[in-house]
Structure 1
Amino acid sequence: MTPPHNVDKLLADAEILQNEYDDEDTAASRLRIEREVADTWWRSALLLESSAQRVRSELPEDAPRDRARVCTAQHEQAAYDLRKLSTLVIRDTRAAHHIALLARSCRVEPASALIFACLLHLADREGAQFWWQFSAGAGSATAALCLHLMHTQRGELRDAEHWAHEAAFLEDLENQSRPDDDLVCLLRRPPRQGHRGTWYTPQSMIQRTMAILHSGVAASTRVVDSPALAAPPLCRSLAVAVQRLEAKSDDDYGTIPKASFELAARLEDCAVSSL
């Protein structure tokens, strides 16, 4: 049997532990539970939408299209937008120059990291997330948007929401500073105070960024907006160059490819034709 004085001590310790929790802790716990419930509902919604898409594909060809129409699943739309946005990024006229800078210098520019990440993503090479995070951490709103779309595609709602907020914050900073060497900030205009909320929604930022990137791409190589294909595949030589990249392993970030001069040359070559 436990001696009485030990019981008293245990009760005293328990009382002290209980007093460590306050209303803020309770509110934080409630918020965490609400987010987990919302995340579960959202994943369920994605499964229902995917099932609806599968049912639609099995309908007879003569089925009425208006009745068979089903909204595109959110994760599928995110995958479409991410590939299209990535393609527009690598088709910027300065893209090859930025990759060469990344291969030559130990100093990494946000634009160079963004372009490199988009190349890795389009070639289905691991490491895009690391370089997008590097670029976003250095101030690129476009990289933050890419991370928002990547996490949405994966069904990671809370991470997607985080990067949407980061993209809005970084775009606001870009509108104020307007550096000369950023890919997409030059034509942005700060919103009117009364419309700030709608201006910085993820979809409005994605549409605005794509429109600005379109303006920096040669007309002969612009991406066609097709519901069947988010973006054309990389040209063979460029895809091969991406796969040849050397990489190092990191305990925290996994496999991290390194840019090369060959990749910059292949990107330059493909810029004069179809990527």
Structure 2
Amino acid sequence: MRPQEPRTIEEALARARIFEGDYTAAHQAASQRRITEQLLELRWMQTLAEPHTGSARPARAPLLLHEQAAVDLRALCQGVIHDDDAVHRLARFDTFRDSGGALAFACLLVLADREEGAQFWLQFAAGGGEATGALCLYLLHLRRGEWRDARHWAQQMSALEDWPSQYTPVPHEVVDAAPATCGGVKVYINLPDHGAAIPESAVKGAMEDLDVDQVGDFNAVPQPSPELAHQLEDLVTAGR
């Protein structure tokens, strides 16, 4: 049954009125928190979308934020695996699980589109003090649109910038950071001129025969093979 139509303006206004007792102070505080979080999220995204100070990249049409993160992540991984020490660290990584070897292996997995395994080893690298690992995770989550996870790794990267004895094959620097409550960060990545990029199809071919183990909550974590370092050395040499 349809409700009875209001007969006067006063009756219509009375029905539209929000009575004070309907909303408590807790409701108001929760609403304010949601609005604040949304404003901080917007501010963080706007900060990241601005041009990076000091960037040497040529002028081009601006990309969407997640698209730029995807481009930066793959370029960063190419820089890591072209580093002269990457092959040696990868060769040792089969026996000694050091954080620098984890970073090199994870970058190969990124380029081979084996993202779940890459995320595991990037977390391993970042946990070992590698700021570059945290930077890769920041870009990875930014590409997915996972803003809170991206903020977390941005903060971790800033904290690890001066960590001693870390492996930094591609120099990078935090050039502008938003307030701590916002968690945004802009990074200058000094990508080396290493010649032609290694074709990602070749990287995928080199990673086809990796062993896969279940580790914790990760269903399929690729493990490095002893031959992988030699394959990487061949790929880098062919690209020069």
Length-normalised TM-score, structure 2: 0.68
Match of 1:267 in 2: 232
Q: 2:117 aligns with which of 117, 127, 135?
A: 127
Distance apart, 1:188 and its partner CA: 7.7
Residues 239 and 188 (structure 1 numbering): CA distance in 2 closer, same or farther, change over 3 Å? closer
Q: Is 1:112 aligned with 2:123?
A: no
For structure 2, the 5+ residue unaligned runs are 1-25, 47-59
Aligned residues: 197
**1:199-218 map, 5 Å:** 202-203=185-186, 205-207=187-189, 210-211=190-191, 214=192
RMSD: 3.6
SS of 2:238 mapped into structure 1: coil
> Which position in structure 2 is the counterpart of 1:253?
218
Give ranges in structure 1 of 5+ residues lacking alignment.
Answer: 1-22, 46-68, 224-230
For 1:9-24, list aligned pairs within 5 A: none
Say which is worse superposed, 26-35 or 142-151, in terms of deviation: 26-35
**1:244 matched to which residue of 2?**
209
User: Which of residues 60, 69, 76 in structure 2 aligns to 1:78?
Assistant: 69
Deviation (angstroms), 1:243: 1.7
Structure-2 separation of matches of 1:272 and 1:235: 16
Identify if the C-alpha distance between structure 1 residues 96 and 41 changes in structure 2 by more than 3 Å, giving closer, same or farther: same
Task: Decide which of 221, 234, 245 is 2:200's aligned counterpart.
Answer: 234
Quote the residue 2:134 is aligned against: 144
- Find the counterpart in structure 1 of residue 83 from structure 2: 92
Q: Helix, strand or coil: the match of 1:127?
A: helix
Q: Distance in 1 between matches of 2:147 and 2:167?
A: 28
User: Do the aligned residues in 2 keep the contact of 1:96 with 1:267 (CA within 8 Å)?
Assistant: yes
Give the partner amino acid of 1:124. D
Q: 1:54 is matched with which residue?
A: none
Q: 1:104 to 1:38 in 2, by over 3 A?
A: same
Q: Which residue of 2 aligns with 1:35?
A: 37
- Mark the CA change 1:28 to 1:85 in structure 2 (over 3 Å): closer, same or farther: farther
TM-score, with length taken from structure 1? 0.60
The corresponding residue for 2:195 is: 222
Q: Percent identity?
A: 39
Aligned to 1:12: none
Q: Which has the higher helix share?
A: 1
